[in-house]
Amino acid sequence: MNIRTIAITAAALGLLGYLVYRSEDATTRKPVANKVTVLYWEKWTGDEAMKMRRIVNNFNASQDHIYVKMLSISGVADKTLLAASGGNPPDVAGLWDTQMTQFKDAGALTDLAPLAKEFGIKEEDYIPGYWKLMSPGGTLVAFPTTPASTALHINKKFLKPGEVPPQTLEELDAFTDRISKVKDGKVELAGFMPAEPGWWNWGWGYWFGGKLIDGDKLTINSPENIRAFEWVLSYSKRFGVRETQNFQSGFGNFSSPQNPFMSEKVVSVMQGVWMANFIDLYNKKLPWIAVPFPLPKDQQHLKGMNFIAMDTLVIPTGAKHKREAFEFIAFVQRQDQMELLCSSHGKNSPLVKVTDKFFNTHLNPYIRLFDELARSPNAAYIPQIGIWPQMDSELKNAFTEINLGTKTPKEALDAAQARLDPQWRRYQQQVMGRSITTAEAKP
């Protein structure tokens, strides 16, 4: 090999190396003079991202040694995970609460307890349900950006003057029977549909006193869950399987004027605190109220039952500037910033202390109800289990099979339990490193 060839090869490799080095630098951490750049990947895009950016700007304006660079990233969870495995994750990532346990078990998240202590952030500052979502399995791995609670939203046009909204599930069923319209085999109006919007199909059992996991035992096919799915089935029987399918296929996207609640095809829906924002955006004239989602007559002791959830900020394992990243997270947790963010997103606050101004100026006229629901000791949330994605997938499938009439609730839930049990045992052994006794290993 002559000198010229060696020189060309060396130059080519050098150029390649330089490009790899600079591309990382250019796309991620272009430094701001004399400041540590904290890279923040966020799932939000559009308006929601813009509102978060205001908080980031407030932080940056308050700083002389940290600069937070926020990037909206699609598929943020997968990318964060892969970036962490590649040793170059962002310093802060905006994820969902549904991923916390799985990510924590995978070793993808930093334990934030020591930093929280250092910054004086305490458990008592947060509404208990949200604190539990922040610390799956007792390890503090996330802090909230915006939380949510849920309630039944009713189109007021369909309530008689002075009529009290349904107080029990049985009254909701009767309300549905009274106002739904089915003409020539076509559903024209539905009082209520458990499958709309379909985001909590996994959780109807909670309304009947059920759970999906008890201790570390899966209870998918418990009598309470079967009862709940029988109630779900009663709705597809009420409207007809085919008729329900056709009716639902005509629904537009959630975030559009064709949303079935906004377009007045479905009179009442379970929705989160954010719904007021969307109503304001797509059908301002819609007269609506929000009430706690009714419970069956025999489950009234579960008063305050609703689903809570939240968007989270985490520091992935291997982040380069953990302390600075936490300084930013702590800033977001300040009451003024948190209320600014939550009110702009149309959410309730995750903090125990809330100002009157927050309640009085909030876009959602029922914000106090949502705040109350979030604080309820009966508030429920997704099971904190690392195989949640598998469980979610199985329950979605069971829900569809039941609605289509291809399986009875018991058959569908038995099948889901049978599939999930070995997966859970394997997960405990392989991911959590727990040894399983012979008795437990038996199906």
Residues that bind another protein (CB under 8 A): 1-2, 5, 8-9, 12, 78, 81-82, 84-85, 102, 106-108, 185, 242, 245-250, 317, 387, 389-390, 393, 396-397, 400-401, 404, 406, 419, 426, 430-431
Q: How far is the CB of 411 from another protein (least distance, A)?
A: 13
Q: How far is the CB of 12 from another protein (least distance, A)?
A: 7
**Residue 15 or 174: which CB sits closer to another protein?**
15
**Residue 368 or 396: which CB sits closer to another protein?**
396
Q: How far is the CB of 243 from another protein (least distance, A)?
A: 10
Nearest to 380 by CA among 209, 226, 224, 217: 209
Q: How far is the CB of 53 from another protein (least distance, A)?
A: 27
Cα separation of the two ends of the chain: 66
**Cα-trace Rg, the chain:** 25
Q: How far is the CB of 380 from another protein (least distance, A)?
A: 22
**Residue 361 or 429: which CB sits closer to another protein?**
429
**Residue 159 or 387: which CB sits closer to another protein?**
387
Query: How crowded is residue 272: how many other Cβ atoms within 10 Å of its Cβ?
Result: 25
**Residue 108 or 228: which CB sits closer to another protein?**
108
E strand residue ranges, 273-374: 288-291, 309-314
- State which amino acid sits at residue 122: K
Q: How far is the CB of 264 from another protein (least distance, A)?
A: 15
**Residue 67 or 427: which CB sits closer to another protein?**
427
65 by Cβ neighbours in 10 Å (0-12 / 13-18 / 19+) ranks as: exposed
Q: Are strands 36-42 and 66-72 parallel, antiparallel or unpaired?
A: parallel
Residue 48: CA count within 13 A, CB half-sphere = 18
Q: Are strands 36-42 and 92-96 parallel, antiparallel or unpaired?
A: parallel
Q: How far is the CB of 369 from another protein (least distance, A)?
A: 31
417 by Cβ neighbours in 10 Å (0-12 / 13-18 / 19+) ranks as: buried
Distance CA(77)–CA(43), nearest Å, equals 8
> What is the per-residue DSSP string for 422-440?
HHHHHHHHHTS-----HHH
53 by Cβ neighbours in 10 Å (0-12 / 13-18 / 19+) ranks as: middle
Q: How far is the CB of 190 from another protein (least distance, A)?
A: 13
**Residue 221 or 348: which CB sits closer to another protein?**
221
**Residue 58 or 393: which CB sits closer to another protein?**
393
**Dihedral (Cα; 121, 125, 126, 128), 10-degree rounding:** 110
**Residue 183 or 301: which CB sits closer to another protein?**
183
Nearest to 246 by CA among 200, 185, 180: 185
Query: How crowded is residue 196: how many other Cβ atoms within 10 Å of its Cβ?
Result: 22
Q: How far is the CB of 420 from another protein (least distance, A)?
A: 11
